[in-house]
Copies of this chain bind each other. A is one copy, B any other.
Amino acid sequence: MPFAFALTAEHPTLTLPVSMLLVFGSAKLLAELFERLKQPGIVGEILAGVVVGPSVLGWIGPNENISFLGELGILFLLFRVGLEVRVQELKQVGRTGALVGVLGVAVPFIAGWALLRVWGKPQIEALFVGAALTATSVGITAQVLSTEGLLNRTASKIILTAAVIDDVLALLVLGVVSSVAGGSVNVVELAMTTAFAVGFILLIGGWGGHAARKVLPPLRERLRIGESQFALAMILLFGLAALSEKAGVAPIIGAFLAGMAMGEALPHRIHELAHGITELLVPFFLAGIGLRFNLQAFSSRSTLLLAAMVLVTAIVSKVFGCGLGTLSYGRAVALRVGFGMIPRGEFCMVVVQAGMALRAIQADTYGVVVFMAVTATLLTPPLLKLAFRGVERHRADTELSVG
């Protein structure tokens, strides 16, 4: 594209400034409206995507540039959350986090599979929908916990630990289901993939901070470019995100690990710079979720009913599974963790795309899963707010200094 201002793919009349204004402006407008209605602003930002998107006004489609900004936004969001979290703190809740991760994958998988079987769908399609219900999309929860100043709570640490484990397990489930659909299960290959992913996380999680503290300060001393610390932080962020992809886990896990590794080594200034980027990009991640939503995708009332039932199953099974894993911390914490693990996102889409590529699931199911993911995500912020009611907030310095 030699042109100065790239046009968006689906709506060739929208220039860069117009599409930025439309998405960012509508997100902030609806966030303000929701705050005034004493609802979470984040829900308004997601709904802004529904409103300006194909479902209502149709001003903008889920186009590639907006998606790109949103994906970049969620990387920075997890990076920033990582900056505020210590590995040591996650280790303290490691056993519970693992249990939550395992139950939070197993229960929704079985529940989703069972529902589709009862509904009369073929075995392989049921397995794929079960797999689509497994992975939590931790971005929304992380954003709520971060802006509400709740990242230092026990429930938050359990959620973050469980989300990392959850991601690896969901990958494993998808691998098994895809292999079944493909006709043969290669146990050795699946074991290798999982071991690689686990090894990557343990290596970076365990040694990343140590290595960052050893390598980065002397390296930075020698660099002559301006803002060298920021440049190093970005390279580590993109580098670990790229590596985590190679290792088979989601790039946001790499971004989170990069944030944790750099957490203590980075001065306040880098937090501020990264905060500006997050503030700009996160609305694109949020509205981007809403943009995917398309009610016209439902071809029949029966599909709509199935969507509603998948949604209920997705929420109840996740809250039950994750809550069960946290019961040793008491009911209040269990509920917070359960609610925090509800959101589904990118992984669902990956599963459904894989299923469609293997001709294992029908086109309708795509709409059902997207509906489930968007709606479950929309319901999470108010549920979290409810579960954390009365809990003391700890605002980070950057939040306090809001002018």
Binding site for B on A (CB under 8 A): 1-6, 9, 15-18, 20-21, 24-25, 28, 31-32, 35-36, 41, 62-65, 67-69, 71-72, 75, 147, 223-227, 229-231, 234-235, 238-239, 241-242, 245, 250-251, 254, 267, 269-270, 272-277, 279-280, 292, 345-347, 349-350, 353, 370, 399, 401-403
B280 to A242, Cβ gap below 8 A?
A: no
The complex places the Cα of A75 from the Cα of B68 at a distance, in Å, of 18
B71 to A4, Cβ gap below 8 A?
A: yes
List, in ascending order, chain B residues with CB within 8 A of A35's CB: 224-225
A226 to B276, Cβ gap below 8 A?
A: no
Chain multiplicity (copies): 2
List, in ascending order, chain B residues with CB within 8 A of A64's CB: 1, 6, 9, 64-65
List, in ascending order, chain B residues with CB within 8 A of A269's CB: 272, 401-403
A3 to B350, Cβ gap below 8 A?
A: yes
Tell which of B235, B275, B353 touches A28, judged by Cβ atoms closer than 8 Å: B235
Secondary structure class of chain A's binding surface, majority of residues:
helix
List, in ascending order, chain B residues with CB within 8 A of A239's CB: 17, 21, 25
List, in ascending order, chain B residues with CB within 8 A of A272's CB: 269, 272-273, 276
The complex places the Cα of A24 from the Cα of B41 at a distance, in Å, of 33
The complex places the Cα of A245 from the Cα of B401 at a distance, in Å, of 35
B275 to A273, Cβ gap below 8 A?
A: yes
- List the B residue with the shortest CB-CB distance to A399: B226
The complex places the Cα of A71 from the Cα of B41 at a distance, in Å, of 29
Which has the most chain B C-beta neighbours within 10 Å: A17, A64, A227, A401? A17
Which has the most chain B C-beta neighbours within 10 Å: A272, A276, A292? A276
List, in ascending order, chain B residues with CB within 8 A of A9's CB: 64
The complex places the Cα of A147 from the Cα of B226 at a distance, in Å, of 8
List, in ascending order, chain B residues with CB within 8 A of A231's CB: 24, 28, 279
Tell which of B6, B24, B280, B399 touches A71, judged by Cβ atoms closer than 8 Å: B6
List, in ascending order, chain B residues with CB within 8 A of A24's CB: 231, 234-235, 238
The complex places the Cα of A41 from the Cα of B62 at a distance, in Å, of 37
Tell which of B15, B224, B292 touches A32, judged by Cβ atoms closer than 8 Å: B224
Return A31 CB to nearest CB of chain B, in Å.
5
Return A398 CB to nearest CB of chain B, in Å.
9
Return A219 CB to nearest CB of chain B, in Å.
11
**17 examples of A-B residue contacts, CB within 8 angstroms:** A1-B67, A2-B62, A2-B353, A3-B350, A3-B353, A5-B245, A16-B241, A18-B238, A25-B238, A28-B231, A32-B225, A35-B224, A35-B225, A64-B64, A65-B65, A272-B273, A273-B276
List, in ascending order, chain B residues with CB within 8 A of A3's CB: 67, 346, 349-350, 353
List, in ascending order, chain B residues with CB within 8 A of A63's CB: 1
The complex places the Cα of A35 from the Cα of B238 at a distance, in Å, of 23
The complex places the Cα of A6 from the Cα of B2 at a distance, in Å, of 21
- List the B residue with the shortest CB-CB distance to A274: B276
B36 to A370, Cβ gap below 8 A?
A: no
